[in-house]
Structure 1
Amino acid sequence: MVPVTVTQSPTPWSYLMDMDGVLVHEEHIIPGADKFIAELTARDANFIVVTNNPIYTRRDLRARLRATGLDIPEERIWTSALATAQFLHNQRPGGSAFVIGEVGLTTAMHEAGYVLTDRNPDYVVLGETRNYSFEQITTAIRLIGAGSRFVATNPDPTGPSRAGVLPAAGAVAALIEKATGRTPYFVGKPNPLMMRSAMRAIGAHSENTLMIGDRMDTDVIAGLESGMPTVLVMTGISTLETVAQYPFRPTMAINSVADLIGNTEDPFKVIAPVW
């Protein structure tokens, strides 16, 4: 493959980056990620970590990242829970919702001014939890059948755990959709809405913002559809072999974010990209 040529923007590059597979793998730091973040911080570069994980608050995620050796401020973290709460606030300020999820989602919904209730809510909002209950899913199905609008934080069918994969929001959403005949609106990646809300959070523009991710089906396509150049790293899900299966491609592929160290002012001057 021949990489796409990108002209250096006169404005300094901003960075959006996925978390799992780019900076960390489960609970372990990806080699070089700490130095990459340190360089961005030293340069006072504009960046934000974007994750589809709606389980944790930004404060929780910062603590979890610090435990791996990464020091990222709360305001530099953006989750699908925050994007969902912001979306609902913009659509129907001061509304109500029945929420299935953990503290990351419920906190974001409260901070957006929403009332959480199971009595005729405006929305049913599905997030992720380690303990999906039959009772909650049944309530969601009945409320959607009665007219509540169906929104989900992210479409991921599975998530990782120490014991193996777990069903995630996308899989549970499919169950509810099958029972109700109502398709949810997914806010998280690959929806460009997630990316644009993250850019607004740091005052960035797509023309001079780079999306770094490890998945073609979420990170790269979300960056592409948001008008951003994209960098695929080989430290997560997608490989060069799987890239060939898609009708689109990243702007550049590299081994890991460590390859960007020393090149964050002009990331497309990486000496030896994978292609």
Structure 2
Amino acid sequence: MKGIISDMDGVIYRGKQLIPGASEFVQRLLDSKAPFLFLTNNAEQTPLDLKLKLEGLGIHGLNEGNFITAAMATAMFLKAQNRKPNPTAYVVGGGGLINELYNVGFSISESNPDYVIVAKSTTFGYEQLKKAIRLIDHGAKFIGTNPDMIDPVEGGSEPAAGTFLAAISAATGKKPYIVGKPNSLMMMLATRKLGVQPDSAVMIGDRMDTDIVGGMEAGMTTALVLSGVTTMESMEKFQYRPDHIFNNVGEIDLATL
């Protein structure tokens, strides 16, 4: 059986609402003994936060090792890239990202930081925008955790990291290096964590422009669910197709992937 890598937002839940069939899907993962990992471009929450969120939605049996976030991937990437003994960063984002940066030796600073790192933030405002622009203009390297423009929530959608990245990029004339999906770096970190080769793994997601293209370019089997951002109509506009299409994860038979 192949290793399973699944997105969360729009696949397992929308905002605070569990998607139909998600609980049964996770139970099938646990019962199958297949290696699996939940991979998310969400950089706001820690693996513990995500585990507790799923438990609050009625999904039990998972542990922190079952998750990898864009914040974790960003911290891993910057740890490998950095050569300074005391690296610093200015962060637009939540506690999950700041915690992961602390874990790899970063200090958070507004005074001539090495990096400006931008993720989704529910408190993003004019002062943060102005500060990020000035720091990048003065030489800080511009990093984005993920390119998602919107996140699916109950009743619609809300702005995500890509919206903030676009504003800062427009003002500075500089493009960020984005670590999360669809960057194959994120997929490589996930398959390495699972201990499987990409051609022995399946990427399940709701976004053609991140989950499906990222999985495809990494050499993985891809499965699109229509419970999040992508619809059948919008899927047809892309130059590539997923290997499998489902209305939601409740329809997925692991043995046929």
TM-score, normalised by the number of residues in structure 1: 0.87
In the TM superposition, residue 42 of structure 1 has moved relative to its aligned partner by 2.0
Residue 211 of structure 2 aligns to a residue whose secondary structure is: helix
Q: Does structure 1 conserve the Cα–Cα contact (< 8 Å) formed by 2:16 and 2:153? A: no
Deviates more, 1:251-260 or 1:176-185: 251-260
Q: Does structure 1 conserve the Cα–Cα contact (< 8 Å) formed by 2:48 and 2:64? A: yes
After TM superposition, the structure 1 = structure 2 runs for residues 20-169 of structure 1, keeping only pairs within 5 Å, are 20-71=9-60, 72-92=62-82, 94=85, 95-161=87-153, 165-169=157-161
CA distance in 2 between counterparts of 1:16 and 1:181 reads: 35
In the TM superposition, residue 204 of structure 1 has moved relative to its aligned partner by 2.2
Deviates more, 1:17-26 or 1:144-153: 17-26
CA distance in 2 between counterparts of 1:98 and 1:48 reads: 29
1:226 aligns to 2:218 (yes or no): yes
CA distance in 1 between counterparts of 2:194 and 2:104 reads: 18
In the TM superposition, residue 161 of structure 1 has moved relative to its aligned partner by 4.9
1:210 aligns to 2:210 (yes or no): no
Residue 230 of structure 1 aligns to a residue whose secondary structure is: strand
1:257 is matched with which residue? 249
Residue 130 of structure 1 aligns to a residue whose secondary structure is: coil
Identity among equivalent positions (%) equals: 40
- Quickly say closer, same or farther: Cα 1:243–1:197, change in 2 above 3 A: same
Please list every run of 5 or more consecutive structure 1 residues that lacks an aligned counterpart in the other structure: 1-11, 269-275
1:245 aligns to 2:237 (yes or no): yes
Instruction: List, as ranges, runs of 4+ consecutive aligned residues in structure 1 with deviation greater than 6 Å.
Output: none
Please list every run of 5 or more consecutive structure 2 residues that lacks an aligned counterpart in the other structure: none
Deviates more, 1:30-39 or 1:154-163: 154-163
1:6 is matched with which residue? none
In the TM superposition, residue 253 of structure 1 has moved relative to its aligned partner by 1.1
Listed one character per residue, the Cα deviations across residues 35-94 of structure 1 (whole Å, up to 9, x for unaligned) are 221122123211111111111111111111111112232111111111111111111155
After TM superposition, the structure 1 = structure 2 runs for residues 196-207 of structure 1, keeping only pairs within 5 Å, are 196-207=188-199
Equivalenced residues, count: 254
In the TM superposition, residue 159 of structure 1 has moved relative to its aligned partner by 2.9
In the TM superposition, residue 34 of structure 1 has moved relative to its aligned partner by 1.5
Pick the structure with greater CA Rg.
Answer: 1
Residue 109 of structure 1 aligns to a residue whose secondary structure is: helix
